[in-house]
Every structure is written in structure tokens, then in C-alpha cells.
Amino acid sequence: MVKIGLLKPKNSRVITLLPQTVKELSKDAEVFVEKGAGQSVFVKDEDFEREGAKVVSRDEVLKSAQVFLFYRLDEDTAKELPEGSTLIGFIDPFNRKDLLNLLKDKKINAIAFELVPRISRAQYMDALTSTAMLAGYYSVILAARYYARRFPYFMTAAGTLFPASVFVIGAGVAGLQAIANARRLGAVVYGYDIRPQVKQEIESLGAKFVELPLTAEEKEGYAVVKGEELIKRQRELLKDVLPQMDVVITTAAVLGGKAPLIITKDLVEIMKPGSVIVDLAAPRGGNVELTRLGEVVEHNDVKIVGMTDASEDLFLDASFMLSNNTKNLLKLFLKDGQLVFDMEDEIVRKSLATYNGEIYSEFLKEVKQ
């Protein structure tokens, strides 16, 4: 039987294997869990043992397992992994060249969540969607925290309090979830995406679509923006929109690259005093020129929140969702108790960053060029 290993995360509260998923994998696999691996999500060692896992030392997990499950793989842990093993997790293959080369040199087969194709059959394995959904939801909570008013309309004895105007830039999974949550909190919500085909999705959530005469292609669920001239034109058009907004949430991402710079310092300076920007793209350089990752910067009476990983704050939901995503992806590689790489399967083929000592992903090679 395939032997699966869960190590205690060093720099995260999120784990990608819970006791209920151990039970579902037990037909095809033996599961080894490091002592205390579930502490961060309030899961005890005996909870894992009750579902059939073997709870052992870290060294024993490393010695016994063939497949290792992670949320975000750090380089120190990668160095510990046995040569020729397999891993599943976020590895940021587009930006962490040193880590990718380390995995390649150790002949580790790396199944990267970032590379799972966004096709219908892969929905249950799509960890990017899970984390983006949490990020979109949480961005609105942060916006409400730093905005000095409430979101909904109130009629009071002291007078009428009008609702906040929330503008969400980018209508991928995170953006649509931000729109939905801002609407739930009672704001008047506006949405914009450079891909005009998402207008219907924005409006279906009760938001107003902001029309800017710009378009872009789409690939793997992301906008493909070509040319700095297009971005500059976008900034010019936003000059008429941003001064009307109380809260702006930016979610624009480029797969494998730096986030596009959408809101420059001069655009921040024309916004209302007391308004708030939450930048979901902060880990990739930010959509806002003044963003600082993990910090709240105040400029010209506007607060810019450089949002970090929402999954670390919502670690219980993140662990539940990613545990199921991991299980569903792993099942594609398990056949009659054996680990099998069926390259005829599109999901298997495309999700491999490294395989048999090579950088395997064609898409990854394309992005790196």
C-alpha cells in the first residue's frame, strides 16, 4: 500500500489532512502522522489514530512515507524529504526557482496546487479556488475593520446613515466572493474586471458593473494583460471612479507573475479622506503602489491594507477545504494501493511541476520563458 505522510507544519497553522480524510484514504493507503501535527487545528493525536493513522516521530514519518502532504512547502522541509518521494501542496513554482531546482535534483515528484488545471473535472481538487474564496471573504472583513463607518444603510433618530460604496477590482473567485460579502454587509457594491465576459457574474451578485472600454484575453481563469499602455489607460479611466468610493478591494493577479500595478500614488491622493483600500495582491507585489505586505499604510488620509494569507487567519476552514482538495487530487494517483502517474490524464499531467528529476510542466516552462 502507498504510504502517506503528514509532517507538523513549521510556519503555518493550516494542515492538509484531517482525521475524516484519513478514513477515506485508508482503502488505498497507510497514513503516518507526526506527533502533534494537528495541534494547530485542535486535532489530537488520538483523533488521527482513531481513524487508522499511525502517529509517530518526525524521523519515522520521513523514513516511512512515499507521499508527503503540505499546505505551503518551505525549503528546509524540502531538504528533509527523501529522494524520489512525492509531494502535494503549494510550492509557488513560478517564483521559487531555488526550491524547484532542489525538488528536481532530489528527483521529488512535485504535484503543485498552482498547476491543477481549472477544468470542470478538477473542481473538487482546486485548492486555488478554496484559498481565493477565503481571501475574498476576509478582505471585506478587513475593510469593515479599518473603515470608520458601517457598511449598511441605517435610518436612526439622529438622522440617516447612507451605505458605504465598495468597489471590487477583479472578478475572479476572490473578487466575486468579496462582492458577495460586501453585499451581505449592506454596502452598495460596484465591480470591475478587464474581461468583459464576467459582467453577468458581477451583476448576478447584485453589484453594478463599472464599464471601462478595455478588454483582455483569459488563460487558466486569469486575465492576460499585454502591454504597459493598457494598464496606463486603465489608470486614467479609474480617475473618474475612485473618488466616488469609500472602500476599494483589489484582487487582480497574473498567474506566475508580479501583480499588475493598478492604483498609483496619485490615484490614492484623489480618493475620499477616510476611505480604505484592501490589496489582496500584496504577496505578489500589490495592485497598489503604496502597499506594504502585512502592514496598514496611511497616505493622504486613506488606509491601504497589505493583506497577507487569509487562510492563516481562517485556518480551520482552510484546513477543512484543503484536506478535501488534497484527498480528491491524491485519489487520481492511487490505483489498487499503488502510486501511479497516468500521463494520459490531463489533471495528472498538468499538475506535476517536477517528475523523475525534470521540470515537467509545459505551462511552467512557458511562463518561465
To the nearest 10°, the Cα dihedral for 216, 219, 223, 229? -50
Q: What is the pLDDT of residues 28-47, one digit of tens each?
A: 899 999 999 999 999 999 99
Give the number of other CB atoms < 10 A from CB of residue 212: 17
Segment 163-192 shows an average pLDDT of 97
Residue 282's pLDDT is: 96
Give the number of other CB atoms < 10 A from CB of residue 265: 11
CB 130 within 8 A of CB 302: no
In order of start, what are the domains of the chain with their CATH numbers? 2-126+315-368 (3.40.50.720), 134-313 (3.40.50.720)
Residue 71 sits at the vertex; the CA angle it makes with 48 and 19, to the nearest 5 degrees, is 15
Q: How high is the mean pLDDT of the chain?
A: 92
Q: What is the band of 214 on the pLDDT scale with cuts at 50, 70, 90?
A: low
Say what the pTM is.
0.91
Tell me the chain's radius of gyration from C-alpha atoms: 22
The helix/strand count (H/E) of the chain reads as 14, 21
CB 112 within 8 A of CB 91: yes
Helices (H), 87-172: 97-105, 127-146
Q: What is the pLDDT of residues 65-121, one digit of tens each?
A: 999 999 999 999 999 999 999 999 999 998 899 999 999 999 999 999 999 998 999
For residue 112, the number of C-alpha atoms closer than 13 Å in the C-beta half-sphere is: 23
Q: How would you classify residue 286: left for phi > 0, otherwise alpha for psi between -120 and 50, otherwise beta?
A: left
DSSP state of 243: G
For residue 231, the number of C-alpha atoms closer than 13 Å in the C-beta half-sphere is: 16
Among 5, 27, 26, smallest CA distance to 16 is for 5
